[in-house]
């Protein structure tokens, strides 16, 4: 399987992961490794909760959308490779 964004640019590059948001295949240059914060109920009331940070992989399009609309819930501070410019 080849990277979705790279194959659009006529550059067949092998995939290293799948975007957890849109499901597009991404290569090491297009993948962004980040984290998602999820709140979990730990008791019988909504006041008793904990937050878990989990790793996620996302494509450039989803990183832009998530960080613009949900800045406190997602963090992408480690692009896996080169940053791809969107048109």
Q: Where are the domains of the chain?
A: 4-79
Q: How confident is the model at residue 46 (pLDDT cuts 50, 70, 90)?
A: low
- Rounded CA-CA distance 86/81 in Å is 15
Q: Are 32 and 80 in contact (CB under 8 A)?
A: yes
The pLDDT score that the predictor gives to residue 62 is 92
The pLDDT score that the predictor gives to residue 19 is 95
Average pLDDT over residues 14-27: 94
pLDDT at 86 > cutoff 60: no
The pLDDT score that the predictor gives to residue 52 is 82
The pLDDT score that the predictor gives to residue 87 is 42
């Amino acid at each position: 399987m080849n990277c979705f964004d790279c194959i659009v640019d006529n550059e067949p590059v092998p995939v290293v992961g799948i975007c957890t948001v849109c499901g597009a295949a991404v290569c090491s240059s297009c993948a962004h490794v980040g984290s998602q914060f999820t709140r979990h109920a730990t008791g019988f009331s909504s006041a008793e909760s904990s937050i878990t940070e989990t790793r996620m992989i996302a494509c450039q399009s989803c990183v832009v959308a998530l960080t613009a609309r949900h800045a406190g819930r997602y963090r992408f501070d480690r692009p896996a490779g080169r940053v791809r410019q969107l048109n």
